[in-house]
Amino acid sequence: MKMLLNSRILDVPHGFSTRVGGASQGPYSSLNLSWSVGDESAAVEENVRRFAKAAGLGRPIITARQVHGIRVIAPPRRLESEGTLPVPTEEADALVANDQDRAVGVKTADCVPILMHAPDAGAVAAVHAGWRGTRSRIVKEAIQKLRDLGAEPSKLRVAIGPAIRACCFQVGNDVAEEFRKGFSAAVVEHRQGQTFVNLALANRMALIESGVAESNIEDLARCTSCEDQLFFSHRRDRGVTGRQVSFIALA
């Protein structure tokens, strides 16, 4: 099993981390990349070291304090050396970059990580889309930011990473109704008296609405909840679990 998964649609440095190959124990076993979920910091430090080696970036991965909103930031250059995965300072749920100084990333354990590359603008974006961000179409906000930097949406290349899928993402009737109204009945599934939402499909619909070509979207189609050997899952692990990091940078 691999520490990093990749998308065929992206030809810039990027990756979706798994839980494989780290030093953490117990519910954080083993490649937990978050300092704020109760894991031992020495283990996380070692994980970041191994992850950095596998990612081979040679520059920091900037993340944000994720709050299930729709704010997109372009993190500023930082002068000080701050390691591979500095502690985030700004609240946001999507990040863009249009130079090679840094990678941008998001941390997830069920929420949908979405990576974008705008080859025409020389820009990249990392998006954290939980059910709230998906419902609020955070991908549209990220694409708007990329357009501001000169990107044409039809040229965007987009990868949808490991997340909880319609097989496992059971919701109440109120959430299901919001998704049916906000997207279409296709994103809501009913099985054995239970209701499930397909977050990846909702995001795909929002991407296409924003002008992304369907052929430029790759969905890795991996379920964090089903694949317990490969991924942390907040829902499956009842909140006590690690985090994956998904990152992208310009070549």
**Between 87 and 221, CB nearer to Zn ion:** 221
Choose which of 1, 87, 167, 240 interacts with Zn ion (CB under 5 A): 167
Residue 128 in the binding site for Zn ion (CB under 5 A)? no
Of residues 156 and 197, the one with the C-beta less far from Zn ion: 197
Contacting range for Zn ion; rule: CB under 5 A; set: 63-71, 72-80, 150-158, 218-226 = 218-226
| Strand-pair partners of 157 | 117
Using an 8 Å Cβ cutoff, are 223 and 167 in contact?
Answer: yes
Q: Does the protein bind Zn ion through residue 225 (CB under 5 A)?
A: yes
When binding is defined by CB under 5 A, the residue of 33, 44, 223, 245 that contacts Zn ion is 223
Select from 4-12, 18-26, 123-131, 223-231 the region that touches Zn ion (CB under 5 A): 223-231
Please identify which residue in 117, 128, 165, 234 interacts with Zn ion, judged by CB under 5 A: 165
Interface segment toward Zn ion; rule CB under 5 A; list 9-17, 124-132, 210-218, 222-230 = 222-230
- For position 226 contacting Zn ion by CB under 5 A, the verdict is yes
Q: Which is nearer to Zn ion, 22 or 162 (CB)?
A: 162
CA angle 148, 150, 155 (to 5 degrees): 115
- CA separation (Å) from 152 to 124, 157, 212, 213, 230? 13, 11, 9, 11, 35
Buried/exposed code over 107-126 (b: 16+ C-beta within 10 A; e: otherwise): bbbbbbbbbbbbeebbbbbb
Collapse the DSSP code of 90 into the 3-class scheme (helix H, G, I; strand E, B; otherwise coil) and give the result: coil
Please choose, out of 80-88, 133-141, 219-227, 235-243, the segment that lies near Zn ion by the rule CB under 5 A: 219-227
Minimum CB separation of residue 193 from Zn ion in Å reads: 18
Task: Please confirm whether the linkage preceding 154 is cis (ω < 30° from 0).
Answer: no
Dihedral sign (CA 3, 8, 13, 15): negative
According to the binding rule CB under 5 A, does residue 222 interact with Zn ion?
Answer: no
The token pair at 126 is: 């990392």
Rounded CA separation 79/67 (Å): 26
Residue 9 or residue 199: which is nearer to Zn ion going by CB?
199
Size of the site for Zn ion (CB under 5 A): 6
Q: List residues binding Zn ion (CB under 5 A).
A: 165, 167-168, 223, 225-226
